[in-house]
Homo-oligomer: A and B are copies of this chain.
Amino acid sequence: MTDAATNVRRGGRRAGGRADRRAAAGEAVIAPAYLTRKIPTFSILNEEGLAQIEHNADTILEEIGIEFRDDPESLDILKNAGCDVVGERVKFPRGMCRQIIQASAPREYTQHARNPARSVKIGGDNTVFVPAYGSPFVYDIEQGRRYATIKDFENFVKLAYMSPGLHHSGGTVCEPVDLPVNKRHFDMLYSHMKYSDKAFMGSVTAPSRAQDSVDMCKILFGDDYLDPATGKPKTFMTSLINANSPMTFDDTMLGAAKVFARTNQACIITPFILAGAMSPVTVAGTAAQSLAEAMAGMTLVQLVNPGAPVIMGSFASSISMQSGAPTFGTPEPAMVLYVMAELARRLGVPFRSGGSLCGSKLPDAQAASEAANTLIPTTLAGVNFVLHTAGWLEGGLAMGYEKFIMDADQAAMMAVQLAGVDISENGQAMDAIREVGPGSHFLGCAHTQANFKTAFYRSAITDNNSYEQWASEGSKDMATRSYERWNSMLNSYEAPALDEATDEALLDFISRRKSEMPDATH
C-alpha cells in the first residue's frame, strides 16, 4: 500500500450539525482564559550568539544612542537617571538599561478582564492570543476590500469574544474611519467593554486618549479599580507603544506610555521594523537594534513608575529588496522572532511578537502559508502576548473576516501543542494496543471509546470529507467555509451581561467628553 490515505469512515454521515453548533456556541465558555505552556521553547541560536547580540545592543545604547523626540520631560527623566543627553539624543551607560529593567519590571502580571474568569496572565510560561490591530480597511470575500467602520469594529470584537482560540479582545481591531479621529477611541473602547468580557487594549494615539482609556476603566471596574493591597490601580489594559525605528521614539507614543505607566497600566514597547528599511538586512543586526530600542523604552517606563508592567515587543519583518514592498512569512523574520524571545527571557520580561502576519490581499494559500510561518514560530518561541493573531491581511492594511476565522482556528490548534504530550497511563494507551493487537483496528476498542471526544483537535472550517461528498456540497474552499462561519457566528452572538448603571455611566462619560471637543481628523 502507498501512503495515499484511504477513508476509514465508519459508515453514515458525520454527526448532526445541530450538536456541532451547540458545541461551537459552548466553546467560548469552556476555553481556558489563557494558555500555559507545558513544552520547551525552541532555541535557534546558542549562548555565544545571544550574548554577542546583547553586547551589540549595549553598544548601540552607549555609543549611538536613541532619540526621544519632542518630549523634554522624558529627556529630563533619562538625564536624571544618568544618561548622556545631547539635544534629543540619549546615550545610556553600558548595562544601565538592563539593571533598571531587572530591578523593577515584573516578570509576569495579570491583566484583569471585567469577567474575572477571563483575566489573563502575561509573561512566564503563558501565551495570550490577541486579534490583529490597526487596519484601516476590512475585507470579506463577498464585499471585497473597503474602509472599516465602527460596525466592522463591533463585529470583530464579537467574533473575538466567541473564538475559543483567542484570549483577548485586542485594541484597534480595525480603524473605524467613519468616526472622527479624535473621538473614535471612545467608541472603540466602549465596544470592547460592551460586546466582550475579555481583556482589551487602550488608546495610544494621544496622551489625552490614553487618559480617557484609564478614565473609562475607572468607570467600568468601579470598586475594583484599585488594588486594596497596594492602593494602586490594578492593570486593566495592555497598550501598544511602538518605536519609530530606527532608534527613535516620538512624543505621541511617549506621552501615552507615561500616562499608562503612571496608572499602572501595561505598555508593550515595540520596535516596528521592516528589515532592510528600518534595520540592517541581517537577523543579528535587526535583533541587536530591536533589543536596544526596546530596552530604552522599557527603561523610561520603569523610571516613570518602577514596577509598572511592561512587555518587550518585537515586530520585525523584511522588505523585498527588489521592489521595496514589505514581505511577511519569510524565513528571516521567524529567526528574528526566535532570537528576540530568548533575549526577552534572558532579560526577564514578558515578550510580544508574532501573530498570523501575511502580505496577501485575500484569504488564499499565500495568506495561510505566511500566517503559519509566523504563528508556529510564535508558539514555539514562547511569545507571551501574541498581537495580530487573527485577521491580518495585506501587511496589516486590511482586517479580513475569513482570515480572522482561519487564524483563530489555527490559534486554537496551537493550544493543543502547548499542552504537550500526555504520558499518563491513559496517554500511553498500552491497554488499547494489547486489546487490538496486530492487523485489527482501534475504532471500537475501549480506550478509543473512552477518549474519542477529546482525542484530536477538531476544526469547524476544514473539510476532510471524500472528494465526492465535498463536490456534492458545492466544492467550497476554506475561504467560503470561513465566510459562512463568521456570518453564522455573528447571527448567534449574545452579548455578555453588563451592569446597566455602569453602561449608562460609560455612555454619559463618552457623551460629555465628546461634547467638549470639535470633530478632528488627527
Contact = CB atoms under 8 A, between A and B. Distances in A.
Nearest to A359: B464
A502 B453 CA distance: 58
Given A456-B327, A458-B322, A463-B360, A280 B248 contact: no
A330 B457 contact: yes
Interface stretch (A108-116, A180-188, A436-444): A436-444
A442 B368 contact: no
Interface stretch (A152-160, A221-229, A257-265, A472-480): A472-480
A515 to B, nearest CB: 27
Contacts of A339: 421
A150 to B, nearest CB: 17
A461 B462 CA distance: 24
Interface in A6-52: 6-11, 13-15, 39-40, 42-45, 48-49, 52
Contact of A277 (B136, B145, B441): B441
Contact of A372 (B172, B368, B430, B452): B368
B282 A428 contact: yes
Interface string A457-495: 111011111110011000101110010000000000000
Interface in A123-145: 133-136, 145
Nearest to A375: B372
Interface string A354-379: 00000111111111111111001100
Interface in A264-293: 270, 272, 274-286, 288-289
A304 interface: no
Contacts of A63: 434
Nearest to A205: B2
Copies of this chain, tallied across the complex: 2
A237 interface: no
Given A323-B464, A369-B372, A406-B365, A282 B427 contact: yes
Contact of A280 (B380, B447, B457): B447
A505 interface: no
A247 interface: yes
Interface stretch (A76-84, A212-220, A409-417, A506-514): A409-417
Given A65-B438, A448-B280, A455-B321, A136 B4 contact: yes
Contact of A56 (B11, B14, B428, B453): B428
Nearest to A67: B438
B49 A421 contact: yes
Interface residues of A, number: 159
Interface stretch (A95-103, A189-197, A311-319, A343-351): A311-319
B283 A453 contact: no
Contacts of A67: 438-439
A459 B322 CA distance: 11
A15 B1 CA distance: 48
A62 interface: no
Contact of A326 (B7, B248, B428, B436): B7
A242 B5 CA distance: 13
A252 to B, nearest CB: 9
A428 B377 CA distance: 22
A60 interface: yes
Contact of A3 (B387, B398, B461, B482): B387
22 contacts: A1-B242, A2-B134, A3-B134, A7-B324, A10-B324, A44-B417, A52-B428, A69-B439, A246-B442, A279-B433, A281-B442, A281-B448, A283-B422, A325-B464, A327-B456, A330-B416, A330-B456, A364-B477, A366-B462, A369-B369, A369-B371, A372-B376
Given A60-B430, A326-B464, A366-B463, 10 more contacts: A2-B133, A2-B175, A9-B325, A10-B324, A40-B43, A42-B380, A60-B433, A64-B433, A331-B416, A368-B368
